Amino acid sequence: MNKDRIEGTFKKIKGAFMDASSSWSKSPSTKAEGKATKAEGEVQNAAGKMKDKVRKD
């Protein structure tokens, strides 16, 4: 497991929390930002998985 996978996982969690909290705060900008952060985390996590696969092979 490398740095990208760890940071990606944290960004996914942060994005999911922001998305969920937007329903409490009624803030559409927070919802959009949360979805963007979650997507960024998923991409970073996928990049980390590819790096791990390349190193393994």
pLDDT tens-digit profile of 2-19?
899 999 999 999 999 998
Residue 10 and residue 17: Cα distance in Å, rounded?
A: 11
Tokens of 30: 């927070």
* pLDDT of 25: 83
Give the chain's domain count.
Answer: 1
- pTM of the shown model: 0.82
pLDDT above 90: residue 50: yes
Q: Would you say residue 33 has pLDDT above 80?
A: yes
Confidence of residue 47 (pLDDT cuts 50, 70, 90): very high
The domain of 31 spans: 3-56
- Note the pLDDT of residue 39: 96
**How far is Cα 18 from Cα 45, in angstroms, rounded to an integer?**
18
